[in-house]
Amino acid sequence: MVHVASYAVMGLIVAALASLATNYLPWALPFEISTDAIDSLLTIIATSMLTITTFSLGALTSAYSSATSNGTARATGLLTEDEIVQSSLATFVGSFLFSIVGLIALKVSFYGPQGRALLFIVTLVVIAMIVVALLRLINQLTKLGRVADTISRIENTAKEAMENRLQYPFLGGKSLPDVAHQARRGLPVRASTVGYVQFITIKLLADICEQESLQIDVLVLPGSFVYEDSLLAHIHSQGDVLPEGIEHLVHNAFEFGPNRSFDQDPRFGLIALTEVALRALSPAVNDPGTAIDVIGRQTRLLSYWGEAWAEAEKKEPEYPNVSVLPLIYEDMYEDAFNLIARDGAAQIDVMSRLLKSLTALTRIGPMASRRAAQHQLDLAYERSLEALSTEAEKGRLKSIYKRAIEDAAA
């Protein structure tokens, strides 16, 4: 929106400067640019930009539909946020506005040779920007909506969410183990709506704690689905009386919505990748190669997360008065592999890759991460052993699992 408005403002500025150019640039130009020449260029821009914008929107709609049908609906938001697409569309619409402003100024104002030259030069610059934007958009449209591109976007977004969480492992607060929040009881803060927790502003909670000498235990994480009576937090005071209306202030730190958000929710990226694999494993698509690709990406993400999370948990909290539940390895591994093992149990190529990936994860990272990987490995093996139809495939699976057990023992 800002990009589009800047073109319109540029058109007004150029129109104003062009009308004053004769007074401030009195020297004669070696050539003269006619009004008809500029009028023709601006008219071409005005008429073509609407057509190009309409075509681009149609192509984008098709790409979004393809991403939803072949990947997952959770990836559509990532496509609509594409910077190249947004910048290109803004350039097209903004150029249209610039040309309209220029045509109006050309019709109602008197320009000398210098003014027409200035308007002509700026128009050529706008045309060059349109060409660059069009080429970038065409290149992007060749990839947008393809399964490989969709998977890469989800993986990159999940990696970014993990990096953000590792920087602030408890959203800036300190760890609140399950045992601690079950033992401590304070003033409850409950949700007032049904939906997903999308964002928690920990700094706001920390400011409340500092001003009122409180301790706050956050009992939900971004990505949690809450109901109108769900517990969000417990407030603890050093005194017997809590400030009036404190529950409302704490409640304001939680943002809710109908959908999950990637920003503070590393698990959502793993879930979205899993959904792509499940779509690929469905009978309608029958694309085990995509499922195998997803398994590799899940393994890469969890390899990065395992050791890094163990180190991040040791960081000093930025807001020690706010306690937040940790992310659990078991949940992360279940999000990444459990449903793939369920739907791909009868496909030996998929299960071979899954067991090999989980075997690798049992050898790296802290012990809690290894145990979570081993648990998913055992579940996947049991499911596949029941689902495979031939003894040869079962023998192959047993061989892979046997090596995994030997590696774990070593």
In a domain, 251, yes or no: no
In a domain, 293, yes or no: yes
Q: What is the pLDDT of residues 121-167, one digit of tens each?
A: 888 888 998 999 999 988 888 888 788 888 999 999 999 999 999 99
CB neighbours of residue 101 within 10 Å: 20
Of 94, 117, 145, which residue sits at a domain end? 145
**Which residues are within 8 A (CB) of 379 and not within 5 positions of it... i.e. 6 or more apart?**
338, 341
Q: What is the identity of the amino acid at 42?
A: L
Q: 51-65, 102-116, 203-217, 274-288: which range is least confident on average?
A: 102-116
**Is the confidence at residue 12, as pLDDT, over 80?**
no
Q: 110-124, 152-166, 360-374: which range is least confident on average?
A: 110-124
In a domain, 367, yes or no: yes
In a domain, 169, yes or no: no
Q: Grade residue 204 by pLDDT with cuts at 50, 70 and 90.
A: very high
Say what the pLDDT of residue 184 is.
62
Q: Grade residue 110 by pLDDT with cuts at 50, 70 and 90.
A: low
DSSP summary character for residue 325 = P
Buried b (16+ CB within 10 A) or exposed e, 62-92: ebbebbbebbbebbbebbeebeebeebbbbb
In a domain, 116, yes or no: yes
Say what the pLDDT of residue 195 is.
94
The domain in which residue 127 lies consists of 2-145
Q: Tell me the pLDDT of the chain averaged across its residues.
A: 85
Section 345-358 average pLDDT: 93
In a domain, 182, yes or no: no
Of 145, 179, 196, which residue sits at a domain end? 145
**Is the confidence at residue 37, as pLDDT, over 60?**
yes
Helix 83-108 / helix 113-141 crossing angle, nearest 10 deg? 160
Backbone φ, ψ for residue 190 (5° rounding) = -115, 155
In a domain, 222, yes or no: no
Helix 348-361 / helix 367-387 crossing angle, nearest 10 deg? 160
Say what the pLDDT of residue 330 is.
94
Q: How far is CA 30 from the centre of its chain?
A: 54
Say what the pLDDT of residue 143 is.
84
Say what the pLDDT of residue 361 is.
93
Of 113, 145, 177, which residue sits at a domain end? 145
Q: What is the pTM for the complete model shown?
A: 0.84
**Is the confidence at residue 82, as pLDDT, over 70?**
yes
Q: Grade residue 370 by pLDDT with cuts at 50, 70 and 90.
A: very high
Q: How far apart are CA 282 and CA 204, in angstroms?
A: 45
Q: Are 259 and 196 in contact (CB under 8 A)?
A: yes
**Is the confidence at residue 380, as pLDDT, over 90?**
yes
Q: What is the pLDDT of residues 304-339, one digit of tens each?
A: 998 889 888 888 889 999 999 999 999 999 999 999
**Which residues are within 8 A (CB) of 99 and not within 5 positions of it... i.e. 6 or more apart?**
11, 42, 43, 45, 46, 49, 126
Per cent of the chain over pLDDT 70 is 88
Total tally of structural domains belonging to the chain: 2
Per cent of the chain over pLDDT 90 is 41
In a domain, 48, yes or no: yes
